[in-house]
A and B are shown apart, each in its own frame.
Chain A
């Protein structure tokens, strides 16, 4: 199965700063079938990005995804207070689908 490794484990930033989250795959992700989710405590995950770079409906344009092959990035251009959460990448190109272990974005 494809193992997704997210880094860093925790990112400590201030509101207004730029966040760059990495997701590295153990083998190439087919057709850039990679998604990013945001999860806050006690809530279900929220889809942010699919197909590596397509924003889901209603997602602000400060969220952007990029990458292909084995290296993918989620960028939050200017952190808003509501963006402090855990972020997961997921590949759905090769069965079984797999999630990364998550990156926590916390307030510095």
Chain B
């Protein structure tokens, strides 16, 4: 069965970086893109961007350009999302999801807390 398993919760200080992983199984990794979506506490969903897993092309949300990098390791079927220069308003649950457009399968979410 399709599974996306994300790395564990992180606590970071303002200005630091975080890298969240998303390990896929149960399907051919390079057949689908991986999207990243975040959700601040009590708020709605925010699309962050997506990566095409077969060639590494990326499409980022404009408000995150320059701070976010999405990568993949096809040898381990793992996607990564790195966010730099963290601010308090980056505190959120970060989800990876299969598919670059709409997403049927989602990871369990990774809580990233940014606090001094």
Spell out A's residues near B (CB within 8 Å): 1, 33, 35, 37, 39, 44-47, 50, 56-57, 88, 90, 92, 95-102
Contact = CB atoms under 8 A, between A and B. Distances in A.
Contacts of B61: 96
A47 B44 contact: no
B62 interface: yes
Nearest to A86: B44
Interface in B18-64: 37, 44-47, 49-50, 59-62
A101 B101 contact: no
Interface residues of B, number: 21
Contact of B101 (A33, A37, A56, A88): A33
A23 B46 CA distance: 16
Given A1-B62, A95-B59, A96-B61, A45 B45 contact: yes
Contact of B102 (A35, A95, A100, A102): A35
B28 to A, nearest CB: 18
B101 A92 contact: yes
B95 A44 contact: yes
A90 B47 contact: yes
